[in-house]
Structure 1
Amino acid sequence: MDALETRELRYFTAVAEELHFGRAAERLGMAQPPLSRAIQRLERRLGVRLLERDRRGVALTAAGEVLLDEARATLDAATAAARRTRRAAAPHSRLVLVTKATGSHELLRKLLDTYAAEPDAAEVEVVLCGIGEEERLLRDGRADVALLHPLYSSLAGFDSEELLTEGQVAVLPAGHPLAARPSLAMADVAGVPDLPAARWPRHDGTYPPGPGPEIHDLSQLAQLIALGRTLAVIPASARAWLWTAHTAVPLTDAPPVTTHIAWPSHSRSRPLADLIRTATRL
């Protein structure tokens, strides 16, 4: 029998992420022996070894790594189903739209204003989040729709439409010599000795190597630029959040950034369909 229960997946995910049965049992609020037995039963049912156990600890096998990815996606989908079902049962239609706090400000304003003028428009709650969080909120059901940038978020598993393609700018401390230039090339901002570029999280949450600071949120980025500790390359529309201590200089050869509106591919929400139609008309 190949069917898996969400309880089994939750148990396995805890062990696979902690790589320690004791910590996983504590995280799950249960005793360790029944957790160990549950994982053993799961391995017997699947006919594969998911974990290697020895005196040094616990490690994932190749099969275990596959199941961890699948389990996370399945648990996210189950959680998302519950959250979206509760929203659908609310007395008034409501959509949750998530976007990066600094991204696509003018586009978002036009979308909300235009959609609100529709006869049967639902209430739209806008959630502004940190770098790379939009995708996670959409996957786990806390959002119905998102404005995503493929440079920072994955569109895998979503339906999407392209809304806007724009250039990028370098954001520098206002007093830096490069800030006085009318335009820059990517080579100009790569490897600046006194101003290492900020490092953004990738799809999997890890950071690329480099000397620049790891950026966890936009307020941190703004402060570090103002202090002369880093620079950032961002979409041109994100200039709306700049401080007087910042200067944005156009980049002549930076790859363009495309904003997508994305939603779960299986969605059958009428209000969501209306919002998507409004977005594509813009």
Structure 2
Amino acid sequence: MDLDLRKVRYFVAVAELLHFGRAAEQLHIAQPVLSRQIRALEKDLGAELFVRDSHGVTLTAAGTQLLDDARQLLASADATRRRVRGAAHGPRRFVVGFRAGVVVTPAVRAFGAAHPDVDVMARRVEWDDQERLILDGTVDLAYVRHPIREQGLQLLPLYTEARVAMLPAEHRLAGKQELLRADLDGETWLRYVDPRPDDVPIRTIEEKFERVAAGTGITLVPVSVAEQYSRPDITYVPVTDAAPDEVLLAWDAGRRSPLIAQFVAAAQG
């Protein structure tokens, strides 16, 4: 039996909230209706998805597996809908995502020159939405950096680049020509991921600038970021033994678009 995407969406809401009442409110449906839809989905799949007891709701092993697959399935469905609507209502559009510091202009120009009938656009992506924007079709492919969740994506390494320390201008090491990682022992490090529970997560490079300039901490950034972003209250110092940053092209592994293959060729060229 084919999967009913509506039921899958209902399942994801319950699985993420682990509460039928709150999921029903979020979906704007009655809780009994939601419960019936989930039981119907379980019947369709021949597997119990939730354990319901006096302690609340938890996922079974089958439910955990479905949640892992369902997000990608729904994103793919949304992407298909978006691309079909776009094809029906205007010229072909091709959107290239890119992370801060990555220059996409040469590849975009080369691709656009070879495809004058395609409207080529560039859109910046961040560490916390780069995968989602690819899988839901907002961008057709993207220049990404690690860390990246690989599920559902085709990845092509393009190049690596050195990383430099981003320091406040008045930092004790700001005047150095170069540093080793050991020189930075004892410093407070800013990170995009895994913020402290009471901290506000960092999304963009601009937010990192503000934290560093305020003396909250330091960080390492790709040399391309240092070349493109200059501020008088920030300084950059090469860290010679820092692991390099890698830039990759990423696209939906399930898509077989000739435009993606042709852009990949332009990017490699």
Q: Which runs of 5+ in 2 are unaligned?
A: none
Q: Give the alignment of 1:211-250 within 5 angstroms.
A: 214-239=201-226, 240-250=228-238
Q: Give the CA RMSD over aligned residues.
A: 2.3
Offset of 1:212 from its aligned partner? 8.5
Offset of 1:104 from its aligned partner? 1.3
Task: Note the alpha carbon deviations across 1:127-177, whole angstroms, 9 max, x for none.
Answer: 11333322110011111010011x222344333332221111111111101
- 2:260 match: 272
Q: TM-score, normalised by structure 2?
A: 0.90
8 Å CA contact 1:199, 1:210 repeated in 2:
no
CA distance in 2, matches of 1:115, 1:272: 10
8 Å CA contact 2:128, 2:203 repeated in 1:
no
Indicate which of 192, 215, 218 corresponds to 1:200: 192
8 Å CA contact 1:122, 1:271 repeated in 2:
no
CA distance in 1, matches of 2:142, 2:133: 9
Indicate which of 130, 137, 144 corresponds to 1:141: 137
Within the alignment, does 1:130 sit opposite 2:129 as a pair?
no
Task: Note the alpha carbon deviations across 1:171-224, whole angstroms, 9 max, x for none.
Answer: 1111101222211222323431xxx111222xxxxx167998731333221111
CA distance in 2, matches of 1:141, 1:113: 22
Structure 1's 33 and 268: CA in aligned 2 closer, same or farther, altered over 3 A? same
CA distance in 2, matches of 1:212, 1:199: 11
8 Å CA contact 1:182, 1:250 repeated in 2:
yes
Q: Give the AA of the match of 2:262.
A: D
Offset of 1:95 from its aligned partner? 0.5
Offset of 1:52 from its aligned partner? 1.7
Q: Give the AA of the match of 2:239.
A: L
Task: Note the alpha carbon deviations across 1:77-96, whole angstroms, 9 max, x for none.
Answer: 11111112223334322111
Indicate which of 169, 172, 183 corresponds to 2:164: 169
- 1:204 match: none
8 Å CA contact 1:131, 1:216 repeated in 2:
yes
Indicate which of 147, 152, 155 corresponds to 1:157: 152
Structure 1's 12 and 110: CA in aligned 2 closer, same or farther, altered over 3 A? same
Q: Which runs of 5+ in 1 are unaligned?
A: 202-206
Q: Give the AA of the match of 2:122.
A: V
Structure 1's 267 and 60: CA in aligned 2 closer, same or farther, altered over 3 A? closer
Structure 1's 152 and 55: CA in aligned 2 closer, same or farther, altered over 3 A? same
Structure 1's 42 and 115: CA in aligned 2 closer, same or farther, altered over 3 A? closer
Partner-residue secondary structure (3-state), 1:260: strand
Within the alignment, does 1:257 sit opposite 2:216 as a pair?
no
Q: TM-score, normalised by structure 1?
A: 0.86
Q: Give the alignment of 1:22-171 within 5 angstroms.
A: 22-100=21-99, 102-105=100-103, 108-118=104-114, 120=116, 122-149=118-145, 151-171=146-166
8 Å CA contact 2:95, 2:121 repeated in 1:
yes
Task: Note the alpha carbon deviations across 1:208-242, whole angstroms, 9 max, x for none.
Answer: 67998731333221111111111111111111123
Within the alignment, does 1:186 sit opposite 2:178 as a pair?
no
Q: Give the AA of the match of 1:197.
A: W
Q: Give the AA of the match of 2:201.
A: E
- Does 14-23 or 117-126 show the bigger shift? 117-126
Task: Note the alpha carbon deviations across 1:20-65, whole angstroms, 9 max, x for none.
Answer: 1111011111000011122123223433322122233211122211
Moved over 6 A (4+): 208-213
CA distance in 2, matches of 1:170, 1:79: 40
Q: Give the AA of the match of 2:55.
A: R
Partner-residue secondary structure (3-state), 1:177: coil
- Does 56-65 or 140-149 show the bigger shift? 56-65
CA distance in 1, matches of 2:234, 2:96: 29
**Count of aligned positions:** 268
Structure 1's 244 and 4: CA in aligned 2 closer, same or farther, altered over 3 A? same
